Structure 1
Amino acid sequence: MTTPALAAAAATRAQNIRQRADRPSQRRSAEQTSARAIVRATLSGVQLREADGGGGLLEFTGRATVYERGYEMWDYYGPYTEIVSEGAGTATLARGDLDVPLVLGHDQLRRLARTTTGSLFLTESADGLDVRAPALDPADYDVAYIAPKLRAGLVDEMSFAFRIESGQWSPDYTEYRINRYDIHRGDVAIVGYGANPHTEASVRQPAAAATSSRARALLELAIAR
């Protein structure tokens, strides 16, 4: 649905953007110019269980972004709809030196897992970017801190930091489609609040334990330029 604000922003954008391949200027998730570029996505199935190998380790799984589903963003001219194309992460995930950590609140010193150590796996499905950390150590301070909050549903969102490499505006400038993003040296983060309406994440605890739980959630994508 095209609102008056969306239509007005699109008209001004069309007059000022030189070509449709140009990236959004001052891209953000709210009207305030100080807002960060956060994309919201709904999560489901948040749970905690022991890793398959046992030993008390915990397994985290999730979906960091969804494809082909629009969400509202803002640029210099006003609101617009943004969509991440299916397959947008194929090139970046193929890097042999891919370096992406799973962190708390985008704090790079609070790392739970990392692709370079083989403790974090990122894969692309038709639905989006899937995240799996199969062996989190419950003795780690940050794992011990976040695990009970995930079980209780007090924290049930994630955030995804990446750079836009290629995209295009629709002919009427109301929609921007991200065709390729780069997540190398970005992150996937567990956060308190998020932003789009469509993703999945789960942290699992012992298959044999009776303490697993589920909750509906949101998934936040913080875009790092």
Structure 2
Amino acid sequence: MTATTRAEAATARAQHVRQRADRPSQRRCAEHPTARAAARVPARIELREAAGGSGLLEFAGYATVYEREYEMWDMWGPYTEIVSAGAGAESLARADLDVPLVLGHDQLRRLARTTTGTLVLAEDETGLSVHAPALDPGDYDVAYIAPKLRAGLIDEMSFAFRIESGQWSPDYTEYRITRYDIHRGDVAIVGYGANPATEAALRQQKPAPSSRARALLEIALAR
């Protein structure tokens, strides 16, 4: 049965987790057992013209921020999770890295993808940076999300990954991820999140009026 307080959860966890290197059991981002495992983080949104006159949109942000606490849940209850700086280095160095930028972790709503060269992921002093330099404003999903980002209606990101290694604190209230694998996971634009420290930016160049979707986007972004 899930504990109702952090202290109760830590006590139960200490009694049942075999060793501190064990990964969280039934890891999720909310109390309900069916909640997703991905950690989500609020994002700062910026919309501005991109250079080059291509009519494309440029998205930049952070799917997670390193060395910052956020709340997660396991089978015992709430705990604090932290992603260590450099935790994704090994995964991001894969020559065959396959990660899409999606809406709401929906794999059919892809905006960009590392394998096509339309998405670049990298680590820096802040966290896992996400850069999609050439989104087509005529794409249905791009046209859908861009005005919502511009209006501040959507302002968070998330990433789906597998924990490769980590460790619980001695009191079992905190779990630190020291290595993760994001290959065939995703980075996502989402509604709400747990980690309050990530950033995102969508830079817009005035869309060409050749399609209804682009025209509607232009109107929305001009407000």
| TM-score between both structures, scaled by the size of structure 2 | 0.86
Higher helix proportion: 2
Partner of 1:204: 203
Q: How many angstroms apart in 2 are the aligned matches of 1:105 and 1:32?
A: 18
Q: How many angstroms apart in 1 are the aligned matches of 2:189 and 2:205?
A: 20
Whether the 8 Å CA contact 1:72–1:80 is kept in 2: the answer is: yes
How far off its partner does 1:36 sit? 2.1
Whether 1:14 and 2:14 are equivalent positions in the alignment is: yes
Whether 1:65 and 2:72 are equivalent positions in the alignment is: no
Q: How many angstroms apart in 2 are the aligned matches of 1:115 and 1:131?
A: 10
Q: How many angstroms apart in 2 are the aligned matches of 1:145 and 1:212?
A: 12
Q: How many angstroms apart in 2 are the aligned matches of 1:196 and 1:30?
A: 12
Q: How many angstroms apart in 1 are the aligned matches of 2:41 and 2:190?
A: 13
Q: How many angstroms apart in 2 are the aligned matches of 1:189 and 1:143?
A: 13
Instruction: Tell me which moved more, 33-42 or 52-61.
Output: 33-42
Instruction: Tell me which moved more, 57-66 or 23-32.
Output: 23-32
Q: Report percent identity of matched pairs.
A: 75
How far off its partner does 1:118 sit? 0.7
Q: How much is the aligned-residue C-alpha RMSD, in angstroms?
A: 2.0
Partner of 1:40: 40
Structure 1: tracts of 5 or more residues without a match: 214-225
3-state SS of 1:22 partner: coil
Q: How many angstroms apart in 2 are the aligned matches of 1:117 and 1:42?
A: 27
Residues 33-112 of structure 1 mapped to structure 2, 5 A cutoff: 33-44=33-44, 46-112=45-111
How far off its partner does 1:212 sit? 7.5
Partner of 2:127: 128
Whether 1:164 and 2:155 are equivalent positions in the alignment is: no
| TM-score between both structures, scaled by the size of structure 1 | 0.85
Q: How many angstroms apart in 2 are the aligned matches of 1:177 and 1:108?
A: 27
Partner of 2:211: none
Whether the 8 Å CA contact 1:50–1:57 is kept in 2: the answer is: no
Q: How many angstroms apart in 1 are the aligned matches of 2:78 and 2:108?
A: 34
Residues 17-28 of structure 1 mapped to structure 2, 5 A cutoff: 17-28=17-28
Whether the 8 Å CA contact 1:62–1:131 is kept in 2: the answer is: yes
Whether the 8 Å CA contact 2:57–2:133 is kept in 1: the answer is: yes
Aligned length: 207
